Structure 1
């Protein structure tokens, strides 16, 4: 069934861009670090663990002031409050963050402990269940599971490959042929501002538009637009950000109500559902600034969905893509491009085929 657990914890299951064909970047190439330029990504990502304990920043100029940059192999590691950006020699970059920070920022009942090279963070839900998130020494999410009151534990997100050592970034980019689109494009990428509520309720839990070849890790989903294109999405264009800001103003937060209700309804039917909140920017500014902004925008919306509308935080994950997937093809400032997108990714994590 949709959202069914990959299995018991003892048998873990072996993750976007704008849905459809990924848009070219300024040089006409796909977004993300090139396969050659990311050869040292496994080593470079070690910067993540050290930065996550740093107090966050609330303005872009402050983020810039506190950035630290160093070279490792053929990538540049850029540390900033709460984020690490890894940029290859071809100037393509990805951003990573600690998924457990969102739980702490929301003031939820959590505790963390080190177990060897891993950190285990437990969130005690009001209903007595626990959400267990395991991260490695670099702050990278390895696994998230839900522990029931009777002791049963079910994997929600498995981000560990079982076929060898942890892959480098280039090995986590999944290339697939474009899935056939048999529905109107406006039902594939839904504009929340124009869509009626019924279409949003239909899209949020929708199955893949084409068979999913296998189970994928969360990182494979994050970095593979061909893979994410198998799922329909909702462009939350009712929320537009000021240039250089990730703040959702109070008058806009209420526009997330229908989205939140649709997600909650899906989670009530299948508690292991996972939705990705994807952040985007316009093409103005540096790639590094835009990656940082987009990732923070995604987290801001995810926090509002939980704090204001009761969406369980464990059913959300966030990722920023900067200017890689422009909605309006312009290099000028465009409020329409400063947005977030929501996409169900459960079938990609579980290997569920289209129905």
Structure 2
């Protein structure tokens, strides 16, 4: 047995003592990564309330957006898309959601009026049915600073952009647009739409001059078309960007004898036919719906780019977005469907691509102008079309 020295014995005793006092050394392990449940972020520990944090949304691929110079505030495209799918933030997403909320009345002379809960009215009179809506509702989604007042029997809606430019719309007691004009910071005023009725020598009669419908029937024959059909009615799916731009900048296909009110343009097909048309056949709708799926939004980029290019040259141009349906369903249902489809596309053009809302007007025509002549369900008939109508519009000085 080897001899143990005193120093060795002392070191051994110290080592034994230190081992009893110190805890055993555990092997190293990699740190544990804890992924928090985002739902638990809102649950504060007892007696201590942390500040609320905004929900972090999944990232999406970047999109090039042309900014609207008159846009008032950033509402967020995700929220805007959700509101569009819900029918301007209302609980209505499909036709069946609002049909039970309609109110009908028959007025003196047999005129039938159907009121929908979001300031739309459908009027049946003298064998004709039209729909009209409150244009100001579309503007409220783009402008944060909105002011309203009543003056001289009119409702005046003022929408103020961050650059100080005022877009002012005047409405009569039936929410019919009377005038729309732009007032700049230096006081200059530019009239965009003047819907006060002039008297034309070619009226076929009093037309729709009742309290609710003030559009006027015109005695205009269809225009004579001397250009190729593919240039007169542009199929958007097959058209190039230059084709779209050309159609939206072309003059009337036939010389005009006069200028007309917005109502006269909206309610007279033969007058609208004097301007070329773009059928947005890449944007179609499910039966009974006016929603446009987000994956369809990029299809509108070409026409939005063409409109914005035209507005850079002349910021006072006006474009009409027409809504259409197939022939299934009642006349009233198809009118409201088509009107809402046109409005949805206008909202997308403004909110996704920066087209100023004051340069757009919308109108639904139901099943009146079928692209494919059939009484059955046809997706190609559930569509929208676009025309530039500036050359048709009468514009009085302010």
Q: With structure 1 as the length reference, what TM-score do the two structures score?
A: 0.80
1:162, CA displacement in angstroms?
Answer: 4.0
Match of 1:260 in 2: 304
Give the alignment of 1:193-212 within 5 angstroms: 193-212=237-256
Q: Contact 1:175/1:227 (CA < 8 Å) preserved in 2? A: no
1:180 to partner: Cα distance: 1.6
Which residue pairs with 2:163 in the alignment?
127
Q: CA 1:276–1:330 in 2, change beyond 3 Å: closer, same or farther?
A: same
Secondary structure in 2 aligned to 1:77? strand
Question: Does residue 337 in structure 1 map to residue 372 in structure 2?
Answer: no
Q: 1:51: which partner in 2? A: none
1:279 offset after TM fit, Å?
Answer: 0.3
Larger Rg: 2
The number of residue pairs the alignment matches comes to: 297
C-alpha distance 206-56 of structure 1, shift in aligned 2 (>3 A): farther
Q: Corresponding residue for 1:67?
A: 102
* 144 and 302 in structure 1: CA distance in 2 versus 1, 3 angstrom threshold: same
What does residue 275 of structure 1 align with?
319
Contact 1:129 1:148 (8 Å CA) reproduced: yes
Structure 2 residue aligned with 1:244, among 288, 298, 321?
Answer: 288
Q: For residue 226 of structure 1, what is the aligned residue in structure 2?
A: 270
Q: Which residue in the other structure is 1:84 paired with?
A: 121
**Which stretch has the larger CA shift, 302-311 or 67-76?**
67-76
5+ residue gaps, structure 2: 1-88, 201-205
Q: 1:1-355 maps to which residues of 2 (within 5 A)?
A: 57-72=92-107, 73-82=109-118, 83-88=120-125, 90=127, 92-106=128-142, 108-163=144-199, 167-168=209-210, 169=213, 172-350=216-394
Query: SS at 1:111's partner residue?
Result: strand
Per-residue deviation at 1:163? 4.2
Q: Measure, in 1, the Cα distance between the counterparts of 2:167 and 2:143.
A: 15
CA distance in 2, matches of 1:102, 1:263: 18
CA contact (8 A) 2:143 2:161 kept: no
Task: Return the alpha-carbon distance in structure 1 between the equivalents of residues 199 and 223 of structure 2.
Answer: 26
Aligned residues of 1:136 and 1:142 also touching (Cα < 8 A): yes
Q: CA deviation at 1:171?
A: 6.5
C-alpha deviations, 1:65-97, integer Å up to 9, x for none?
10111101221100112210001363x310011
Gaps of 5+ in 1: 1-53
How far apart, in 2, do the equivalents of 1:110 and 1:84 lie? 23
Distance in 1 of aligned mates of 2:199 and 2:287: 43
Range 330-339 or range 54-63, more displaced = 54-63
The alpha carbon displacement at 1:59 in A equals 2.2
* In 1, Cα distance between equivalents of 2:168 and 2:142: 16
Partners of 1:147 and 1:347 lie apart in 2 by 22
Task: Check conservation: 1:327, 1:336, Cα contact below 8 A.
Answer: yes
CA–CA distance in 2 between the matches of 1:108 and 1:186? 41
Give the secondary-structure state (helix, strand or coil) at the position aligned to 2:353.
coil
Q: Which moved more, 1:200-209 or 1:100-109?
A: 100-109
